Structure 1
Amino acid sequence: MDDLANVIASMRMVSIPYNFNISNRGNVDFGGGRHLKRMYFFLSSVLGTVLSLSGLFAAAHPSTAQAQTVQKDYENHPNRAAIEYVVKNKLMWLYPDGNFRPEQPVTQADLVAGLVNAKALTIGTEVTGLPANHWAKVYYERAKKDGILDGVTLNPSKVLNREEAALLMNNAWKNIFKAYQNKRQVYSDIAVTSGWLPKKSGKFVTGVSTTAYDGLGNVSRGEEAVALYLLHNDAIGTKAAENIALQFHNSLKVSGGNLKGKVPTVKGKDIRLLIQFQNGKIVSYFSGDFMVNASQVKFMEFTVKNSGESKSLARYTYDSGTNLIRKNTR
C-alpha cells in the first residue's frame, strides 16, 4: 500500500501549472489549459485501474482471504463411515444444504426406500392404501414384492420406533438368510444381536424392561445408515457367493464310479467342501481338483464365507455322492 500512496502522490503533482516559453508562440500555460484537463482525465482513469487491481491482488492474498469450507454435520459422527458408504452407493441421500441430518428420526417411507435400494430391487407389485402420487410409491411396490411389508401396516409418514423398524429390517433379511424367516413375538432383540440397531436400555413393546433391546425409542438416520450398509454388503456378498457355489456345482461329475469336481479359489473368500464318508470319516477340501469314490460319500456340504467370518454367504448340502441334487440351507 506504500507503493500505491507514492503513485497517487505523484499523480497529484501533475495539477501544478507549468509555463514554457516556446519560440514564436510566447508563454504557453499548460497548467490551466485544455491539455491539462485531458491529462487529468487520463490520470484519473489510470488511478481507477490501479485501485481496482490493488483490490484484486489484496483479495487474493492469503492474509486477507481464506478458502471457505462447509463442515458436514456427520464429520465427527460415530457412524460416519456407514453414512459415507450409503451416500456413495445411493442408498440414502444428502439434503440440499449438503448435510445428512444423522440424528433425524426416520419415517416408514424413509426406511422402506432405503431397504429397497440396499437390495437393488427392481420388480414390484401393486400396493393400495398409499396417498395419491406419494414419492415412495414405487419403493412400496418393490418392497411388497420382496416380502419387506409382511405384517406391516402402511403409514409412510409415521416416525418409526425401534420395534417397527426392526420388523421391516427382519423382513428384508429373511430372503437372504433362513434364520430370519421364523415369526417372533418381538423383533427389536434380533435387530440388536444382528448389528442392525445399537443396544439401548428401555422397554420391549410388550412393556417388559430391557437393558439392551428397547423397542419404543426412535431410529435415527445415522442408525439407519448402519443397517443399510450391512444389508447392502450381505446382498452383494450372497450374490457373489451363489455364483461361486454354482461354479462348484457345475464342476461335479460322476465317471467310472468316481466323483470328481473342483473347489474354486477366490481372494477374500473362505471356500470349502466337507465330505462325510460312509465309514464316518470327514475330510475338508479347500481348493483345487478332488476325486473320491462316489459310492462311499454319505454327505457333502459346500460353503462360501468371507475370510475371517463365521457367517455363510452360500451353503449347499448333498445327500449322496451319486445323486448330485443340492439343497440350499443358507
Structure 2
Amino acid sequence: MKKMKLAKTMLAALLATCGIVPVLLSEPTSVTAATSDYANHWAKKEIDWALQKGLIWKYADGTFRPDETVTQAQFLASLAKVMGLKEKAPYPAIGNHWARGVYEQVAKANWFSPDIKIDPNAQMTRYEAAAWITNAWGHKTYEPMKYTFTNHLLVSSWRFKNGLEGKKPGYFAYEEYNYFLKTALPTDRFTRAELAHTLKMIDTRKRYVAEAMGWTNQLKNSMYVKEGKVYGKVPNLPFIEYRRQAQVVYWDGDGTDFKRLEPGKNFALPATGTISIDVIMDSLSILTYCWELPSLNMINIREKSFSSISQARNTELLGNDGK
C-alpha cells in the first residue's frame, strides 16, 4: 500500500512538471455530491427514473439540485422528449440559445398559447407548467391547472406528498379543485424534482392511453352494420379490480337498458342505441369512446364533455357569439 501511494506521488510530481493536472489521481467529488444530492428526497424514485430515461439531466458538477426551480428551457426540453417530439419548424425568437431546437419542436407541435410568455431562462411557475402540459396534451383551455390536476398530470409537490389524504382515514381529497388550490398555488415555483415526478405521470398515462387505444381500435375495426344489425367482436379485455379494467357496453335505443358484452366474443345487435368502451387503470379513468348506432363514427366522450365545458366558459367570458 505504501509503495502504491509512493508511486502515485511520484507520478503526480512528474505530470505536474510537464504542466498536466493529475485529476485522475484524486478521489472524484462529484459522485458523492450526486448521490447525496437527492438521496433522501421524496421524489428520489422519480428522479432516478427520469435520469435513466434521459428525460432530465444533472449539472456539470454531478448534482441534481431537486428543489431548484426549473427554467422554461429545461422544462420544455424534458416535456418535448417525453412527448416524443421530432419534427421542427423555424423559431428564431430565442436566437442561439442552447434550447433553440427544443423551441422549434414546440413550434411545430403548436404548443404556444398567449398566456405563456416565452423566456427560456425564466423560472417556471406551477401555472406555466400546467399550461404547457395541457397544450402538449392537445387541449388549450382557460383553466390548465384544473385540467392537469383532474387528469392526474400535475400532482407533484411535497405539499401533495404530505397532504393528499382527506380528513377521514382512507379518503382522498385530491379530486376537489378547491382543496388543490389551497394545497398548492398556481404561482408556486415548479422544481426539478416536481418535474421528474410529473414526467413519470405523463409517461405512465401515455402508455395507458396507447394500450387502451389498441383495444378501442380493435373494436372499431371489427364493427360493421348490415340489414339493421351491428356486428363486431369484443377484444380480449382485462378485468383486474382497481388495476386494469376495460368493458364494452351496449345500451338499447331507449337508453334504459344495457348489457356488458363478453370479452373475446362476437356480437350481433340491433343497430340502434349505443355501444361504448371504457378503460380504467390504477383506479384512473383513461378513456371512454362510444358509437351512436347506426353510425360507426367513433366519439371521444371525455373530449366531447371537455369541449362543451370549454365552449360554455368561453361564451361566458367572450360574449354570446364566442368572439
Q: Report the TM range for the smaller structure's normalisation.
A: 0.5 to 0.7
CA displacement at 1:110 relative to structure 2? 0.9
2:278 aligned partner? 303
Q: Find 1:108's aligned residue among 40, 48, 72.
A: 72
CA RMSD of aligned residues (A): 3.2
> 2 CA distance for matches of 1:262 and 1:150?
42
2:15 aligned partner? none
CA displacement at 1:200 relative to structure 2? 5.6
Q: Find 2:215's aligned residue among 229, 235, 244.
A: 244
Q: Find 2:192's aligned residue among 197, 218, 221.
A: 221
2:141 aligned partner? 182
Tell me: CA distance 1:247–1:189, structure 2 relative to 1, closer, same or farther (3 Å).
closer
1:284 paired to 2:248: no
Amino acid in the other structure paired with 1:311: S
- 1:271 and 1:287 in contact (8 A); partners too: no
> 1 CA distance for matches of 2:158 and 2:58?
26
CA displacement at 1:235 relative to structure 2? 2.1
Report the secondary structure of 2:251's partner residue: strand
> What are the equivalent positions in structure 2 for 1:117-128 lying under 5 Å apart?
117-128=81-92
> 2 CA distance for matches of 1:144 and 1:256?
48
Per-residue CA deviation, residues 47-84 of structure 1 (Å, 9 max, x unaligned), is: xxx9849999xxxxxxxxxxx97334121110111111
Report the secondary structure of 2:247's partner residue: strand
2:101 aligned partner? 138
> What are the equivalent positions in structure 2 for 1:132-211 lying under 5 Å apart?
132=96, 134-151=97-114, 152-173=116-137, 175=138, 180-184=139-143, 187-188=144-145, 190-192=147-149, 194=152, 195-198=154-157, 211=182
CA displacement at 1:164 relative to structure 2? 2.3
Higher RCO by CA contacts (8 Å cutoff, separation 6 or greater): 2
CA displacement at 1:257 relative to structure 2? 4.6
State which drifts further: 260-269 or 215-224: 260-269
> 1 CA distance for matches of 2:49 and 2:85?
19
Per-residue CA deviation, residues 89-131 of structure 1 (Å, 9 max, x unaligned), is: 2111123443321111111101111111111111222223112
- 1:109 and 1:136 in contact (8 A); partners too: yes
Structure 1 length-normalised TM? 0.67
> 1 CA distance for matches of 2:188 and 2:264?
51
- 1:265 and 1:271 in contact (8 A); partners too: no
Higher relative helix content: 2
Quote the sequence identity (%). Answer: 22
Q: Find 1:254's aligned residue among 219, 225, 231.
A: 225
Q: Find 1:91's aligned residue among 31, 50, 55.
A: 55
Report the secondary structure of 1:311's partner residue: strand
> What are the equivalent positions in structure 2 for 1:28-47 lying under 5 Å apart?
none
- 1:162 and 1:218 in contact (8 A); partners too: yes
2:291 aligned partner? 318
> 2 CA distance for matches of 1:286 and 1:72?
53
Report the secondary structure of 2:265's partner residue: strand
> 2 CA distance for matches of 1:303 and 1:242?
10
CA displacement at 1:231 relative to structure 2? 1.3
> 2 CA distance for matches of 1:167 and 1:240?
26
Amino acid in the other structure paired with 2:288: R
> 2 CA distance for matches of 1:250 and 1:191?
31
- 1:161 and 1:218 in contact (8 A); partners too: yes
- 1:166 and 1:191 in contact (8 A); partners too: yes
CA displacement at 1:329 relative to structure 2? 2.9
> 1 CA distance for matches of 2:76 and 2:4?
57
> 1 CA distance for matches of 2:6 and 2:56?
44
